Amino acid sequence: MSRSTIARLPTYLILTAWSVVVLFPLWTLIVNSFKPQKEIFKDPFGLPKNFTLAGYEAAWKTGRFDLYFTNSIIVTLISLVLILAVGSMAAYSLAKWKSWVTNFLYVFFIAGLMIPIRLGTIDLVRLIKTLNLQDTIWSLIPVYIAMGMPIATFVLTAFIKDLPSEMFDAAKVDGASEWQTYLTIVLPLMRPALATVAIFNMIKIWNDFWFPLVFIRVEEARTVALGVSLLFGQYRTDWTRALAVLSLAAVPLLILYVLLSRQFIKGLTAGAVKG
């Protein structure tokens, strides 16, 4: 064994231990979703002896989770697209125009990271009622956009400021307008930062329970997070079905991370090493 390998051995051990800590709850969740309820309590960490899909069948056929998943996917996708579109344009403006107005707007956006949006729940309820959006999935989208804009503006503005100014000067010399510069130069280069923003915001939007609980009372507009909460009763809980639904709810997040993991890591490490 070489000296370099020995020197890296503590790092490998720490990362392996951390991976086990992170993956163990996911393993427990998935394995128990295929067990009958009695077996879950008898052997919660072992492989299923009596393999069953009853939890998934009950969740999909009788629990109306196909509807809940559809609602969550619609809300999440529309919110993410608008957050990335509006956030990237705002970040480009804040990064390239230097004035006290843009500095004030940047601080205004950053303040959203420090002030929880739930503090304005009462005013948001009044606004949603005024717009006649209560008990619809469309009531969630404006709130999620407002919730995601601060982190989007913060990450994307810092990323654009790190881009070389010579690139923008060359675009001006070639006669490109600001809109053309944004679409053809800046937007393709922002893919790692956009992936980072998308993952951060999707986790918050997909798992949000508070605003669906406050805004939505009808079953047709429920999201996955709200639907899962209905499975946990005061005196009895169908753990097989609950764990099956939680396993399904984790699938979109895992798919998004797998698809964007490379860009996500690039976005996190952007600017960490200067050449």
In tens, the pLDDT along 196-242 reads: 888 889 888 988 888 998 998 888 888 888 887 777 654 466 677 77
pLDDT at position 86, please? Answer: 92
Question: What would the two tokens of residue 223 be?
Answer: 């999201």
- In which residue are the tokens 């205004």 written? 108
Task: Give the CA dihedral 183, 186, 192, 198, nearest 10 degrees.
Answer: -50
In tens, the pLDDT along 44-94 reads: 888 888 888 877 877 777 767 788 888 999 999 999 999 999 999 988 888
pLDDT at position 251, please? Answer: 80
For 64-269, which CATH class?
Answer: mainly alpha
pLDDT top residue among 147 and 43: 147
Say how many Å lie between the first and final Cα of the chain, rounded.
33
Per-residue pLDDT, averaged over 142-146, amounts to 93
* Domain boundary assignment for the chain: 23-52, 64-269
In tens, the pLDDT along 1-38 reads: 567 777 778 888 898 898 888 888 888 888 888 888 78
Q: Which amino acid is at 266?
A: K
Q: Please, which residues have CB within 8 angstroms of residue 197's CB and are 6 or more apart in sequence? A: 83, 84, 87, 148, 151, 152, 155, 156, 267
| Spatial distance between the Cα atoms of 258 and 248, rounded to a whole number of angstroms | 16
CA angle 24–30–36, rounded 5-degree value: 120
CA atoms within 13 A on the CB side of 222: 17
Is a pLDDT exceeding 60 seen at residue 272? no
| Spatial distance between the Cα atoms of 166 and 272, rounded to a whole number of angstroms | 21
| Spatial distance between the Cα atoms of 245 and 238, rounded to a whole number of angstroms | 11
